[in-house]
Structure 1
Amino acid sequence: MQLNDRLHKLNTAQIITFGFAGVIILGGLLLWLPFCAAPGNHTSFSDAMFTATTCVCVTGLVTVVTASHWSMAGRVIILLLIQIGGVGLISLGSIIFISLRKKISLRNRRIIQESYNLDRMSGMVVVVKRVLLCVLGAEGIGTVCYAFRFVPQFGVVRGVGQSVFTAVSAFCNAGIDLLGEESLAPYVSDPVVNFTTMGLIIMSGLGFVVWWDLWDKIKKVFRRKLSVGRIYRSLRLHSKIVVTMTAILVIGGTVLIFLFDFHNPDSMGGYSTGTKLMASMFQAVTTRTAGFFTISQERFSNATYLLCLLLMIIGGSPMGTAGGIKTTTIAVLAMSLLANLRGKNDVEAHNRRIRESYLRSAIVVAGMGLFTVFVMSILLCAAMPEAPVADVIYEIISAAATVGLSRGLTPQLSTAGKWIVIITMYLGRIGPLTLGTAVTVRAQKRSPNAHLAEEDIMIG
Structure 2
Amino acid sequence: MFKLSHWSPPRILVTGFALIILLGGLLLSMPFASEAGTRTPFIDAVFTATSATCVTGLVTVDTGSHYSAAGQIIIVTLIQIGGLGFMTMSTLFAIILRKRISLKERLVLQEALNQSSMEGIIRLIRKVLLYSLTIEAVGAVLLAIRWSYDMPLGKAIYFGVWHAVSMFNNAGFDLFGQFGTPFVSFTRYVNDPIVNIVAMLLIVLGGIGFIVMSDVIDFRNKKRLTLHSKVVLSMTGALLAIGTIVIFIFEFTNEHTLGALGWDGKIWASLFQSVAPRTAGPNTVDLTQLRQATQFFIVILMFIGASPGSTGGGIKTTTFATLIGAVIAMIRGKEDIVMFKMRLGRERIFKALTITLLSLALVIFVTMLLSTTEDQAFLKILFETTSAFGTVGLSLGVTPELTMFGKIVISLMMFTGRLGPLTLAYALGPRTEKELFRYPEGKITIG
Q: Name the TM-score, length of structure 1 as normaliser.
A: 0.92
TM-superposed deviation, 1:124: 2.3
Equivalent in the alignment of 2:343: 353
1:297 equivalenced with 2:299 (yes/no): no
For residues 114 and 51 of structure 2, what CA distance do their matches in structure 1 show? 25
Q: Distance in 2 between matches of 1:179 and 1:260?
A: 28
Q: Secondary structure at the match of 2:150?
A: helix
Tell me how far 1:299 sits from its aligned partner. Answer: 1.0
Distance 2:244 2:259 in 1: 15
Find the counterpart in structure 1 of residue 359 from structure 2: 369
The structural deviation recorded for 1:120 is 3.6
C-alpha distance after superposition, 1:392-447 (max 9, x if no partner): 11100000110000011111111111111111111111125716988xxx99x857
Is 1:84 aligned to 2:110, yes or no?
no
| TM superposition shift of 1:155 | 0.9
CA contact (8 A) 2:11 2:426 kept: no
The aligned residue for residue 95 of structure 1 is 92
CA distance in 2, matches of 1:148, 1:275: 22
Once residues 80 and 16 of structure 2 are traced to their aligned partners in structure 1, the CA distance between those partners, rounded to angstroms, is 15
Partner of 1:8: 5
Q: Which residue identity does 1:398 align to in structure 2?
A: S
* Residue 130, structure 1, aligned to residue 127, structure 2: yes
Q: How does 1:17-166 map to 2 (within 5 A)?
A: 17-39=14-36, 41-166=38-163
> Is the Cα–Cα contact under 8 Å of residues 117 and 437 in structure 1 kept in the other structure?
no
Once residues 305 and 136 of structure 2 are traced to their aligned partners in structure 1, the CA distance between those partners, rounded to angstroms, is 20
Letter in 1 for 2:19: G
Q: Residue 113 of structure 1: CA displacement? A: 2.3
2:235 aligned partner? 245
1:323 counterpart residue number: 313
User: What is the correspondence of 1:304-315 to structure 2 with a 5 Å cutoff?
Assistant: 304-315=294-305
Q: How much identity, in percent, do the aligned residues show?
A: 41
Q: Which residue of 2 aligns with 1:229?
A: none
1:118 to partner: Cα distance: 2.8
User: Matches of residues 112-261 of structure 1 in structure 2 within 5 Å?
Assistant: 112-180=109-177, 181-219=183-221, 234-261=224-251
The answer (yes or no) to whether the contact 1:365–1:436 under 8 Å persists in 2 is: no
- Find the aligned partners of 1:345 and 1:93 in 2 and give their Cα distance: 44
Question: Does the CA-based 8 Å contact 2:279-2:393 persist in structure 1?
Answer: yes
Equivalent residue, structure 1, for 2:408 = 419
Q: Would you say 1:452 and 2:439 are equivalent positions?
A: yes
Are 1:382 and 2:372 an aligned pair? yes
Q: Which residue of 1 aligns with 2:180?
A: none
Q: Which amino acid aligns with 2:93?
A: I
Matched, 1:399 2:388: yes
The answer as to whether partners of 1:198 and 1:285 remain within 8 angstroms in 2 is yes
Q: What CA distance in whole angstroms lies between the structure 1 residues aligned with 2:116 and 2:381?
A: 40
Residue number among 415, 431, 438 corresponding to 2:420 in the alignment: 431
Q: Would the aligned equivalents of 1:364 and 1:435 in 2 still touch at CA under 8 Å?
A: no
Q: Which amino acid aligns with 2:214?
A: W
Partner letter of residue 313 of structure 2?
G
Give the SS at the match of 2:148: helix
What SS is found at the alignment partner of 2:176? coil
Provide structure 1 residue ranges, at least 5 long, that are not aligned to the other structure. Answer: 221-225, 227-233
Q: Which amino acid aligns with 2:50?
A: T
Q: Distance in 1 between matches of 2:439 and 2:341?
A: 31
Write out per-residue CA displacement over residues 204-253 of structure 1, whole angstroms, 9 at most, x where no aligned residue: 11111111111111356xxxxx5xxxxxxx31110110011001011111
Task: Spell out, residue by residue over 1:266-321, the C-alpha distance to the aligned partner (whole angstroms, 9 max, x if none).
Answer: 11101111110110000000011111010011111122112101110001101110
2-structure distance, mates of 1:450, 1:134: 47
Root-mean-square deviation over aligned CA pairs: 1.9
Q: 1:193 to 1:49 in 2, by over 3 A?
A: same
One-letter code aligned to 1:236: T
Which amino acid is 1:86 matched to? G
Separation (CA, whole Å) in 1 of partners of 2:233 and 2:250: 25
CA separation of 1:179/1:346 partners in 2, compared to 1, >3 Å: closer, same or farther? same
Q: Report how far residue 116 of structure 1 moved.
A: 2.2
SS of the equivalent of 1:121 reads coil
Range with greater deviation from structure 2 (365-374 or 54-63): 365-374
Contact in 1 for aligned 2:416/2:424 (Cα 8 Å): no
Letter in 1 for 2:445: M
The number of equivalent residue pairs is 440
Shift of 1:450: 4.4
Q: Deviations over 1:94-133 (max 9, x none)?
A: 1121121110112222222233233442322211111000
Does structure 2 retain, via aligned residues, the 8 Å contact 1:361–1:436?
Answer: no
Structure 2 gap segments, 5+ residues each? 178-182
Shift of 1:456: 2.8
Residue identity in the other structure for 1:399: A
What's the counterpart of residue 333 of structure 1? 323
